[in-house]
Amino acid sequence: MKISNFLFNYLSLPLLPKTKWTKKFLFYVLKFSIFHIFFYRYLIVCLNKREYRKILFYTEPLIFNINFPLPIFNVYLQSLRNLGLYIESINSAKKVINLFPKSDIGYWHLIHAYVGKGDIVAAKNIVKMSNLNLVISSRLKSLSIGNTHLENLLVSSDLNLDSEFFHLFFNDSGIIGQSLLKVDITSYKYRSKKFALYISSHAGFSNTLISLINAIGIARLLNISDIFITKTNLTSSLKLQNLRIRGVKINTIESIPKINNISGNFFSHYDFLNSHNSLFENDRLEIASSILNNYSFKNKVNEVEVLIHIRSGDIFKARSVHPSYGQPPLSFYILCINQIKPKSINIIFEDYSNPVIRPLIKYINSTNCNLELNNSRLLKEDVSSVLSAKNIIFGKGTFIPGILLGCKTINNLYTFELSENFKSKWSLNRFNKIINVIDEKGIYRESILSNNWNAEPFQLNLMKKYPIEFLKLT
């Protein structure tokens, strides 16, 4: 185990504060190259904790004034892009290219920054520049941007290549420009012009569903007939092998497909597809329904009166958690239950790490309401329960919204601090009744839902004790 990982993750030592004394300390210490490797490892810890602004604070006074090794420049440029600071990233990447013209680091970040800005022409020119400068890089070679074979495929399609949103085709992550789709040409002679899409990585249930839907949408735009997805327990349980949807065949695979392919996770293509296919909003509902009907129990007839999904697991136990995954307070669930006044409730949760679960169970038992706990069942049973629920109460996350893409029945949805953008992205507007609970006082929103979730003790305590009178049904 690396010492830096042990100190800052397992022992949870605090990061250096953003003070003038920190800058003075770093300015003195980093004059000595022996400390550069330790500084780099420390920056990686910050990167994993998504402390991008701290990275900029530590590095910006020194980055081009000290003879740092290349990996430090890589972390610095990555942080600029993760913050969406594309102009700054472009300017800094150009300086890195001047300092290290044979390294791919400056070119890599410069290309991504231009795509993030929407400037495809400039990104292609950097690809050409790297080729002219004889930069040897397997990752640059695999990029989708500037690949002549892919460009031929795009030209032969009906895509509007001049569209304001065309650059989103190349984007393959939740943060625009963070990563790009890759291209693998299996035949050097390019004898076959046939392409496939390859979902090379995927996450949880709903994120995998979104990747599949987007990949099918892109395949139809490009007249591609095959999609390959990495074979895992999840993709196997979804019964995807040889599944055909809208003329596209899905194949599960354990290794890289032996066919020309465009690869990525295809999670972030909603805006691109929506702007290039006016019917995609409805298409994806039908695609989701096809996948889920193939997966869920066919004879699930027991209607669930109220289903509550509570996010737990890694966002409460991991050493580094995503700052936007703050969850609703106990009072939110109680307020919704009091509004519905149900006779039976099903709760779906992974484990008891979310501090609201035990007190919520205690509260429901005090109301003489029939309660069923689902924290050890098959995923298929949970999905089937969601699809048959009359009322659904859920917090922050994609599990429920993903399943609802394939739901054709009308549900009453109870949500917490739901944004219009999230509602649109997950097509929740089609439901007749969405009851959104808001934090009227704003204290909870500021303490937990302002991209500052870290499972701190005070946050966990606030989740259990936030007053119900501070919330409002809308």
Return the residue matching tokens 């919204």. 401
Q: Do the Cβ atoms of 47 and 79 come closer than 8 Å? A: yes
Mean pLDDT, range 28-46, rounded to an integer: 93
Measured in degrees and rounded to the nearest 5, phi and psi for residue 13 equal -65, 140
Q: Indicate the pairing of strand 389-394 with strand 370-374.
A: unpaired
Q: How remote is the C-alpha of 172 from its chain's centroid?
A: 10
The model's pTM:
0.87
CA distances from 264 to 76, 223, 331 (A): 24, 18, 40
Q: Parse the chain into domains and list their residue ranges.
A: 3-94+103-110, 151-295, 304-473
The predicted structure's pLDDT at residue 202? 79
The predicted structure's pLDDT at residue 368? 86
Integer Cα distance of 433 and 227 in angstroms: 36
The predicted structure's pLDDT at residue 394? 96
**Closest by CA position to 210, among listed 271, 294, 278, 276:** 271
First CA to last CA distance, the chain:
50
Cα angle 291, 296, 300 (rounded to 5 degrees) comes to 140
The predicted structure's pLDDT at residue 1? 40
Q: Do the Cβ atoms of 120 and 167 come closer than 8 Å? A: yes
| Amino acid occupying residue 395 | G
CA distances from 129 to 87, 103, 396 (A): 19, 12, 44
pLDDT digits 0-9 by tens, 406-462: 887 767 899 999 999 899 889 898 887 899 999 999 999 999 999 899 899 999 999
- As given in the structure block, the two tokens for residue 450 are 């302002």
Q: How confident is the model at residue 298 (pLDDT cuts 50, 70, 90)?
A: low
pLDDT digits 0-9 by tens, 105-163: 999 999 999 998 999 999 999 999 999 999 999 999 999 998 888 988 898 888 888 88
387 Cβ neighbours under 8 A, 6+ residues apart:
292, 296, 300, 403, 406, 407, 409
Mean pLDDT, the chain, as a whole number?
89
pLDDT digits 0-9 by tens, 379-406: 888 888 888 899 999 999 999 999 999 8
Mean pLDDT, range 162-186, rounded to an integer: 81
Q: Do the Cβ atoms of 120 and 126 come closer than 8 Å? A: no
Could you tell me which CATH class the domain 304-473 is placed in?
Answer: alpha beta
Integer Cα distance of 199 and 230 in angstroms: 6
The predicted structure's pLDDT at residue 384? 86
Integer Cα distance of 215 and 248 in angstroms: 10
CA distances from 430 to 309, 405, 424 (A): 20, 10, 9
The predicted structure's pLDDT at residue 371? 94
